[in-house]
Amino acid sequence: AIQQIAAYLKHIVKGCNLDVHPTESALVIQYEVEATILGELGDPMVGERKECQKIIRLKSLNAHTDTSSLALKVVEECRLIHPSKLSEVEQLLFYLKNRKVPDGMKQQRVLPRDFTPYAGVEVGIEANITSIDEYVELLYEGIQEKIKGATLIFQLACNPNNLEELNNNEAALGALARVLREDWKQSVDLATTIIYIFFCFSSFSHFHGLVTHFKIGALCMNIIEHELKRYDLWQDELQKKRKAYILSCEFTDNQNLKKEHDKSFRKYQSLLIKQEQFLRVALCLLLNLAEDTRTELKMRNKNIVNILVKILDREDEELLLVVISFLKKLSIFLENKNDMAEALAVEKLARLVPCEHEELLSTTLRLLLNLSFDTLLRSQMAQTGLIPKLCSLLADEGQRQLSMCILYHISMDDRFKSMFADTGCIPQLMKMMFSCGDAKMDVELISLCINLAANKNNAQILCEGNSLRMLMKRAVKLKDVLVMKMIRNLSQHNGPTKSLFLDHVGDLAAQIRNDEAEEFVIECLGTLANLNIPDLDWAMVLKEYNLVHYLKDRLKPGSAEDDLILEVVNMIGTVSMDDSCAAMLAKSGIIPALIELLNAQQEDDEFVCQIVYVFYQMVFHKATRDVIMGDTQAPAYLIDLMHDNNAEIRKVCDNTLDIIAEYYEEWGKKIQMEKFRWYNSQWLEMVESQMDEAGDPFLYEKERESFIGNGDILDRPDLLYSTEGLMGADGTISPEFYTDFQSGGQGRTGFLNRY
């Protein structure tokens, strides 16, 4: 009668309450549904009220999640949540984002899925905790009864409320452990069911002691190793039958061999399904136990890394998810990371990037990120073709950050920077940069671009179109130090890229001011120092922006951070290539300031090398050359640095002194004499050291013969130097030379006091 007069059914949702899930990254919605059947006139006929619950799992929630955006998305997609609760949702998401689950409530990291008692076992009854003793008795019967008993106990263990009572029943757990130890080879179904029971316990840290007490972890390792050997035997057997079938087809159509091969393949697939189900739950159990680093060390000693890497060849995505989650946890330790490198884990992981299974892909990328901190493994990633694969994931917002971090690590190696040019990712990166507007740019994005800009081919792509102009605009407007670092890297490449900077010299020079942040000025100075462009009128730039005064002031020791002072020296070295600029700098008194800085920073190789390079540039020009030679002690310092331990400093000094010797005869003689004295002292030091070691009074004569060979030293004019300036009129050594020789040392410390 009700069906005849009922018009429609009306649902009303009431009392929507929000909370967080106790162990998962999820929101729990508690609400009531009031269902009412209305009559034709709209009058309520029959009503019923029911309490309901909905769980919203937040797979993408992590430490970097924007909780405001995620809260808005949750409210938009879930109609049960009224928009007025947006702020409450955001607060709950913030709590979940920062929550740490207590150890006693910590659930398993990866759940083995889709497990049901085997179809071949007809249980026929619902498990009851009061009947546990009856289930234990089944464990002492045949295999089928044992499977039945284990399945009933497993039904109990699936309910966390029963775990404490099962834990108190030592007889039941002892029987399960004994059956597993004795009968696992007879039935993989039995082994899997018992492992699932102990897995339920391992899901809570509170019960880890129980699982360890029965040595289930060690037993799992043994069973896994055995199953992997069985898998290899199956593969070999199947391959043999396949080859026999293919060989027979070349001569005759043998249907019997075909049927035998097909039958073997079906059997193999059936066995493989059961084996991989066992591997999933066994590895999940081990992964839970590995929370204790001592237990994890025991697993490593049993070669767990190589076992896991071997399983990476499988196709089952759920099994691969467990394996890669396990490897990710292990990879934070150096020894495990080295084991993965030896097992060529990267090559096997590369085939999973990309894949359609989102969680598997994300976990694989996290593992690769951990491994990418190692130089050797980064090299393997590049060689296995991961760069273009990772670049293709930049379009996937869910995987973008992880992919970018791995690419950043790979781009740190100069050998692999050029590989990015052909992937097509650089225009995409630039688009992502410009889409930020005035907002803060992701540090992973700009860091990757900074590294890529250090390669010439990449730099040309990065500067295509209006890109350089837009980068300069952002850097100057926002005083963005990282973007300016990228621009500085772009400016170091000769060719068409460097020529593009002619339009931006003024913008860069305008930033060289005392009121700007030092970090930003450092990058601007470094960029300008890279612009050794012949067409650039540096004299005009120095005058227009009053840079000479700034450069001179910053040369004073302690006037700024060392990094800034060093960039000032680099800048002076670049502008000194221009004759008019060199003269302008010489008149301003910058050369004495450089000498003072050289004295203060004589222990810093980088400072010494760059200052000497400035002298090298200045001696090319007559105006500055005369100032250096006539008004400063720079030549004397250069002579002292001729034999510095740093090869680059020696090289720049030699080149500078060669130019000085060409223009100034007197200094040429001094330089020649210093070289002679150096070589002579080196030879005497060698002879004396060998005499001290050997104690042979005739060693000098032996060394003399070995030095000049069968000829006489007088027949070696190339070893003789002019004695002008060295010998007096009476044939004696000049006092000045003798005093200089006695007081001179070859170290850099204190060399300014020698002249």
* Strands 6-20 and 44-57, sheet pairing: unpaired
CA distance 442 to 108: 32
**pLDDT for residue 123:** 46
Give the three-class secondary structure for 415.
Answer: helix
Dihedral angle sign, alpha carbons of residues 347, 348, 350, 351: positive
10 Å CB burial of residue 109 (0-12, 13-18, 19+) is: middle
Do residues 443 and 401 touch, judged by C-beta distance below 8 A? no
Final residue of a domain: which of 205, 230, 251? 251
Closest by Cα among 137, 165, 160, 159 to 150: 137
For residues 140 and 346, what is the distance between their CA atoms, to the nearest angstrom? 46
With beta carbons less than 8 A apart as the criterion, state whether 415 and 455 touch. no
3-state SS assignment for residue 110: coil
Residue 49 sits in the same domain as residue 173: no
The parts of the chain modelled with pLDDT lower than 70 are 1-15, 22-23, 35-50, 100-126, 248-254, 678-685, 687, 690-755
Kindly state the tokens that stand for 72: 């808005």
Phi and psi at 719, nearest 5°, equal: -90, -5
- For the domain that residue 583 is a member of, what is the CATH number? 1.25.10.10
Output the pLDDT for position 240: 84
Angle, CA of 79, 81 and 83, to the nearest 5°: 100
pTM for this model (two decimals): 0.73
Residue 275 lies in a domain: no
pLDDT at 45: 52
Whether 627 is covered by a domain: the verdict is yes
Whether 155 is covered by a domain: the verdict is yes
Residue type, 699: L
Residue 199 lies in a domain: yes
- DSSP class per residue in 284-329: HHHHHHTTSHHHHHHHHHTTHHHHHHHHTT---HHHHHHHHHHHHH
Strands lying side by side in the sheet with 26-39: 6-20, 26-39, 44-57
- CA–CA distance, 368 with 390 (Å, rounded to integer): 11
Written as one letter, the residue type at 355 is C
Which position has the token pair 């996937």?
A: 396
Residue after which a domain boundary falls, among 650, 667, 682: 682
> Both 520 and 630 in a single domain?
no
Residues 443 and 564 occupy one common structural domain: no
Looking at the structure, do residues 506 and 557 belong to the same domain, yes or no?
Answer: no
Same domain, 502 and 552: no
Claim to verify: residue 646 and residue 564 sit in the same structural domain: yes
Residue 604 CA to residue 277 CA, distance in Å, equals 63
Answer for the pair 635, 628: CB distance below 8 angstroms, yes or no.
Answer: yes
Do 554 and 527 belong together in one domain?
no
Count of alpha carbons within 13 angstroms of residue 85, beta-carbon side: 18
State yes or no: cis peptide before 354, omega within 30 of 0: yes
- The dihedrals phi and psi of 561, each to the nearest 5 degrees, come to -65, 150
- Helix 216-249 / helix 170-183 crossing angle, nearest 10 deg: 30
Of 309, 325, 411, 337, the residue nearest 365 (C-alpha): 325
Report phi then psi at 209, rounded to 5.
-60, -35
For residues 498 and 502, what is the distance between their CA atoms, to the nearest angstrom?
8
* Tokens coding 378: 């980064």
Nearest to 582 by CA among 628, 645, 536: 628
Answer whether residue 407 is part of any domain. no
576 with 616, same domain? yes
Q: Are 430 and 512 members of one domain?
A: yes
Q: Backbone dihedral region of 385: left (phi > 0), alpha (psi from -120 to 50 degrees) or beta?
A: left
Same domain, 562 and 518: no
* Domains in the chain, number: 4
Give the helix ranges, DSSP H, for 34-77: 67-77
Rounded to a whole number of angstroms, the CA Rg of the chain reads 40
Q: Which of 529, 551, 679 is nearest to 613 (CA)?
A: 529
Residue 347 falls inside a structural domain: no
* Both tokens assigned to 707: 């030095």
Tokens of residue 666, six digits: 């007197």
Residues 40 and 126 in one domain: no
Sign of CA pseudo-dihedral 198, 199, 204, 209: positive
| Reduced 3-state DSSP string for 538-591 | HHHHHHHCCHHHHHHHHCCCCCCCHHHHHHHHHHHHHHCCCHHHHHHHHHHCHH
Cβ atoms 288, 109 nearer than 8 A: yes
User: Residues 401, 405, 406, 408: is their CA dihedral positive or negative?
Assistant: positive
Amino acid identity at 145: E
124: amino acid identity, one letter: G
Give 3-state DSSP helix, strand, coil % of the chain, rounded to 5: 65, 5, 25
Q: Which of 507, 536, 565 is the last residue of a domain?
A: 536
Q: How far apart are the first and last CA of the chain?
A: 121
The Cα–Cα gap between 468 and 360 comes to 39
- Angle formed by the axes of helices 86-98 and 67-77, nearest 10°: 130
Residue 44 is predicted with a pLDDT of 57
Is the CB of residue 300 less than 8 Å from the CB of residue 336?
Answer: yes
Give the CATH number, domain containing residue 145.
1.25.10
Element (H, E) at 577: none
Helix 304-311 with 293-301: angle, nearest 10 deg: 70
Residue 696 lies in a domain: no
How far CA 166 is from CA of 129, 155, 176, 282, in Å, comes to: 8, 12, 12, 20
Q: Which two tokens stand for residue 601?
A: 């920073």
> According to the model, what pLDDT value does residue 753 have?
37
Q: Is residue 83 within a helix (H) or strand (E), and if so which, with residue range?
A: none
- Could you tell me the residue range of the domain that residue 658 belongs to? 547-682
In a domain, 144, yes or no: yes
Looking at the fold, whether 498 and 521 belong to one and the same domain comes out as yes
Residue keyed to tokens 């973007």: 483
Alpha-carbon gap, residue 570 to 567, rounded angstroms: 5
